[in-house]
Chains A and B, each alone.
Chain A
Amino acid sequence: MSITESAPIVPSFEDGDTGRKLAIICSKGNLDMAYPALVLANAALGEGVETHLFFTFWGFDMINKKTMGDLKFTMLGNTATHLPQGLGGLPGMTAMATHQLKKSIDELGIPEVPEFLQQIVDSGGHLWACRMSADMQHLQPDDLYDEVEAIISAADFIEKSAGAQLLFI
């Protein structure tokens, strides 16, 4: 059945400040645990949602210049690979698993972590580093990815994420 509307059908892009806000706490430094936050942050920004990423504990590996391009994936402790756990402990297995995962991600046209963070920043996303983690790891702002806006305290983060939907990864 065909319906002809008299008024033009124009999508509602809900322009203007919708007030929707998303804050994602990135607490893991494994390659496979870095991507969920990056993919969701990117999607939220594409929908016009104000997005903040807060890196804490092992999540610091995602913004530490020394490690951000070299996150790893291991089979150990991950039963979802459906392979014997003993295999994961063999020399070279983590390197191989990492290589395989990176290859799969690349085949989908999805960028590596540093480039993905840049894309998020270019889309208007905000990156924040956790004060306590920086102190524990003796890291200064210069040690962190240049696009990280500041090292902030937990209280600062609570303030910045007021009214936001919150994801802990």
Chain B
Amino acid sequence: MPTTTIDGHLIHVNDEGFMTDPDEWSEPLAKTLAAGIGIDLTDEHWKAIRFLRDDFAQEGETATLRRISVIGGIPTKSLFQLFPQKPAKKLAYVAGLPKPHGCV
């Protein structure tokens, strides 16, 4: 398993660069991860990130966009605005979680 250093944080990642240990994640790190993919985090982003983190802690898997909108209450349209093009993957990346496995 590779490790990488992002802005002074040494983290374990998979081959693609997604973090593999949720406990290594922190809010300052999220800001750096987001900046690395061109996203400046606003309160709206944080709402989605915190939902994803809490939901992962409870369910043991990363929520799909459908789940984020239905359970997390963040509309699909907003998710595409906040994390353009590939919202589910980008959000998971910034939240230090694996890519979602669910189909819908």
Contact = CB atoms under 8 A, between A and B. Distances in A.
Interface string A26-57: 00000000000001001100111000000000
Contacts, number: 79
A147 B2 CA distance: 46
A108 B5 contact: no
Contacts of A109: 66-67, 70, 102, 104
Contacts of B87: 46
Interface string A1-32: 01111001111110100000000000000000
Could you say which interface size class chain B belongs to?
A: 20 to 34
B57 interface: no
Contact of A111 (B1, B13, B66, B93): B66
A119 B37 contact: no
Interface of B: 1-6, 13, 16-18, 36-38, 65-67, 69-70, 75-77, 80, 84-90, 93, 102-104
Interface of A: 2-5, 8-13, 15, 39, 42-43, 46-48, 108-111, 119, 122-124
Given A11-B89, A46-B87, 13 more contacts: A2-B1, A4-B3, A8-B4, A11-B37, A15-B84, A42-B104, A46-B89, A48-B86, A109-B102, A111-B66, A119-B69, A123-B76, A124-B80
